[in-house]
Homo-oligomer: A and B are copies of this chain.
Amino acid sequence: MRIGELAEKTGVSVRALRYYEEQGLLTADRSGGGQRHYGDSAVERVHLIQALYAAGLSSRTILDLLPCVDAKVNTPESRALLRAERARIDEQIRQLRDARDRLDAVIASSESPTSGCAHVESDALVP
């Protein structure tokens, strides 16, 4: 498939896909005219990249991780790298939970009738 289709299938912009290639995260065959062509596996690849970006990893770090993912490299160093990034993600999750708990405290106090301006409505949409 060409770049437009991949963009559509993954929900990522064409520009972003070219950027990934620029960063070495994604490769493509080229047609005679120079147009990029991707196999079906590229979809999954892009999803992985997106997941790692969403986890706050930099493209540089992702670049370091991908060879491990591709199972081309399997050294003690690469495994250490994987575990280190996993730990970073865990730390981020902890921070997020902290922020969430703080917000929960605020929510609780704003919904309990201790805030002076108490008026209880039953527009409760609590998911």
Q: Are A103 and B86 in contact (CB under 8 A)?
A: yes
Q: Let me know if A40 is at the binding interface, CB within 8 A.
A: no
The docked-state distance in angstroms from the alpha carbon of A127 to that of B82 is: 13
Please, which residues of chain B bring their CB within 8 A of the CB of A111?
79
Give this chain's copy count: 2
- Within the complex, which residue of B55, B104, B127 is in contact with A95, where a contact is CB–CB below 8 Å? B55
Known interface pairs A95-B51, A95-B54, A127-B87; A68-B100 also in contact (CB < 8 Å): no
How many A residues touch B, CB cutoff 8 Å? Answer: 46
A9 within 8 A of B: no
Contact for A89 among B78, B96, B109, B121, CB less than 8 A: B96
A22 contacts partner chain B, Cβ-Cβ < 8 Å = no
Q: Does A13 contact B (CB under 8 A)?
A: no
- In Å, the complex CA distance between A74 and B108 comes to 12
A80-127 residues at the B interface, CB under 8 angstroms: 82-83, 85-87, 89-90, 92-93, 95-100, 102-104, 106-107, 109-111, 115-117, 121, 123, 125-127
Jot down 13 A-B pairs with beta carbons below 8 A, ordered by A.
A52-B99, A54-B95, A54-B99, A55-B99, A57-B99, A68-B106, A74-B110, A76-B121, A78-B110, A79-B107, A82-B110, A89-B99, A93-B93
